[in-house]
Amino acid sequence: MKTTLIATLGFDEKFCYRAILRHGIKEGDEVILITAEIVEKVEKAYEWIKRLIQASYSDKVAIQLIQVDVKSPVEAIKKVAGLLKGAEGKVIVNLSGGMRALVATVLLACLAKPKANIEIETEDFSSLLEIPSSLLFLIKNEPSENYMEILMAIKKGLKTVHEIAKTLGKDESTIRRQLQELGRMELIVAEKRKPLIVRLTNFAELFV
């Protein structure tokens, strides 16, 4: 599968370089660097990354530098959202480099088009924060009222299909189907299959 790596770029190329290595960028993949202003230091960082990719993959990994105007946030978000919409394969957005306004702009674009996995590396390179696209989707599209009732029931200690159905006054087949959907949404996980016993995920705790 193709990987599209989108990264915010400032004066330091190290974050982009580490992301390229971490994700095993290969022939056929694409690297898109987003910056707020193309000044000399940004150009040098971009040229360094470009040389690295060309030396390793020749022209078989596409790379481009995109400038957005963070002083016009709506237009900047629309521009980045358009890049996300057109991105192919597995999409990774690295927000480790660049100015705060740029990082905020790209993050808001990711919320508008929640298809990418986001990562942010700490300044000392000691930790990597990862935000999966499923969490962005849930933030944008809160669970329906029916699903929220089930999540609240589980939070109160009800863990089986029978308990949840009896409490909510619904058919067990309906609850089982809704639990399957909540599992696909990564809001619950099964602790046991027979009989089915479920618990909330960390994601679910953001909503209940």
CATH number, position 198: 1.10.10.10
140, 158, 182 — which closes off a domain? 140
| Closest CA relative to residue 55, chosen from 11, 20, 92 | 20
Q: Which domain holds residue 16?
A: 3-140
Provide mean pLDDT across the span 53-81: 93
CA dist 18 and 56 (Å) reads 14
Quote the number of domains for the chain: 2
**CATH number of domain containing 74:** 3.40.50.11700
Same domain, 129 and 167: no
User: For the chain, what is the total number of helices (H) and then of strands (E)?
Assistant: 8, 8
Last residue of a domain, one of 85, 114, 140: 140
- Regarding whether 194 and 116 lie in a shared domain, the answer is no
Residues 151 and 96 in one domain: no
Residue 79's pLDDT band (cuts 50, 70, 90)? very high
Q: Are residues 14 and 86 in the same domain?
A: yes
Taking 90 as the threshold, does the pLDDT of residue 30 lie above it?
yes
Are 79 and 160 within one domain? no
Contacts of 71 (CB under 8 A, 6+ apart): none
> What pLDDT, on a 0 to 100 scale, did the predictor assign at position 58?
81
Q: Is residue 99 a contact partner of residue 70, using CB atoms and an 8 Å limit?
A: yes
Q: Quick one: 32 and 84 in the same domain? A: yes
What global pTM score does this model have? 0.80
> Which residues in 13-46 are b (16+ Cβ under 10 Å) and which e?
bebbbbbbeebebeeebbbbbbbbeeeeebeebb
Q: At what angle do helices 73-86 and 100-112 cross, to 10 degrees?
A: 50
Nearest to 66 by CA among 114, 108, 6: 6
**How large is the angle between the packed helices 133-140 and 100-112, nearest 10 degrees?**
70
Q: Among residues 104, 125, 140, which one ends one of the domains?
A: 140
pLDDT digits (tens, 9 = 90+) for 101-141: 999 999 999 988 888 999 999 989 999 999 888 888 888 77
Mean pLDDT of the chain: 92
